[in-house]
């Protein structure tokens, strides 16, 4: 799952990227408002962490443009402690949640998880996938309460697909959401990854729709 972090403070941006990456997300950074607006308008993200004090184009202007143009990606705004009026305007302009600086990384991760979960239609942090249970807080898949050993990338694939139940997902979409843009991507990386997951969880856990992509078998709320 891809998260856009729009924050001009390099230290904060990199800390957010590390925390969200450790939580299983693929992060992309943007340090000015013009770039953040363009990427949010032209690329697919599962959520955006948006600082209101961006240079070139401020966060509120970006948010209003996205909503006016029909971009409804969940947005978590970052705002200074004293700017209560900005927080109100941000929510009224279409933000889904906000965090006040300074903040704990754990809080941002939890709020981003909740935004992604709610946007996919799940109220609970656990998702049933047939006989398996995916726990987005613990980042694990279990059966009958017993965790199954998965690599971080295997977990990311299952979590990404579980948030899109019943949908056929193309190979290119999986690649885009599991690997950072600057990562080395082997042409058969997705097929190899899916093969590993099938060996661990069963051949029917991921269904191939020939010529279209893949879908998760048995996912439900």
Same domain, residue pair 179 and 100 = no
Same domain, residue pair 112 and 203 = no
Helix (H) or strand (E) holding 7: none
Same domain, residue pair 111 and 11 = yes
Question: H-type helices in the chain, by residue range?
Answer: 10-22, 33-42, 59-68, 84-92, 105-119, 152-162, 171-178, 189-201
CATH number at residue 193: 1.10.10.10
* CA dihedral for 55, 59, 64, 67, sign (positive or negative): positive
Same domain, residue pair 76 and 149 = no
Q: Last residue of a domain, which of 119, 140, 155?
A: 119
Q: Which domain holds residue 206?
A: 126-220
Predicted confidence at residue 187, as pLDDT, reads 67
CATH number at residue 35: 3.40.50.2300
Same domain, residue pair 115 and 130 = no
Predicted confidence at residue 143, as pLDDT, reads 92
Same domain, residue pair 17 and 100 = yes
Report the length, in residues, of the chain: 221
Same domain, residue pair 100 and 30 = yes
Same domain, residue pair 71 and 134 = no
pLDDT tens, position by position, for the chain (221 residues)?
899 999 999 999 999 999 999 988 999 999 999 999 999 999 989 999 999 989 999 999 999 999 999 999 999 999 876 677 877 888 888 999 999 888 999 999 999 999 998 888 887 888 999 899 999 888 899 998 899 999 999 999 999 999 988 899 999 899 888 876 655 566 688 999 999 999 999 999 999 999 899 999 865 44
Predicted confidence at residue 39, as pLDDT, reads 94
196 phi/psi in degrees, rounded to 5: -65, -45
Same domain, residue pair 28 and 101 = yes
Determine what percent of the chain falls in helix, strand and coil, rounding each to the nearest 5.
40, 25, 35
Predicted confidence at residue 166, as pLDDT, reads 87
Same domain, residue pair 164 and 148 = yes
Same domain, residue pair 216 and 152 = yes
Residue 124: how many CB atoms within 10 A of its CB?
Answer: 10
Same domain, residue pair 90 and 144 = no
- Count structural domains, the chain: 2
Q: Last residue of a domain, which of 58, 87, 119?
A: 119
Q: Last residue of a domain, which of 73, 96, 119?
A: 119
For 216, the 3-state DSSP assignment is: strand
Predicted confidence at residue 91, as pLDDT, reads 86
Predicted confidence at residue 221, as pLDDT, reads 42
């Amino acid at each position: 799952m891809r998260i856009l972090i729009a924050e001009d403070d390099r230290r904060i941006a990199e800390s957010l990227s590390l925390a969200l990456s450790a939580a299983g997300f693929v992060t992309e950074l943007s340090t000015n408002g013009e770039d953040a607006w363009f990427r949010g308008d032209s690329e697919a993200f599962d959520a955006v962490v948006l600082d209101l004090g961006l240079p070139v184009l401020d966060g509120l202007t970006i948010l209003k443009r996205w909503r006016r143009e029909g971009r409804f990606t969940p947005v978590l705004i970052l705002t200074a402690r004293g700017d209560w009026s900005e927080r109100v305007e941000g929510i009224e302009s279409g933000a889904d949640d906000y965090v006040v600086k300074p903040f704990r990384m754990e809080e941002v991760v939890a709020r981003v998880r909740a935004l992604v979960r709610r946007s996919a239609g799940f109220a609970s942090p656990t998702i049933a996938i047939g006989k398996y249970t995916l726990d987005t807080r613990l980042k694990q898949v279990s059966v009958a309460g017993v965790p199954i050993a998965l690599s971080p990338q295997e977990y990311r694939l299952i979590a990404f697909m579980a948030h899109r139940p019943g949908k056929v997902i193309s190979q290119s979409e999986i690649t885009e959401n599991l690997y950072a843009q600057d990562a080395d991507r082997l042409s058969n990386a997705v097929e190899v990854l899916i093969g590993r997951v099938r060996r661990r969880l069963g051949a029917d856990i991921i269904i191939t729709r020939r010529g279209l992509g893949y879908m998760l078998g048995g996912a439900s709320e």
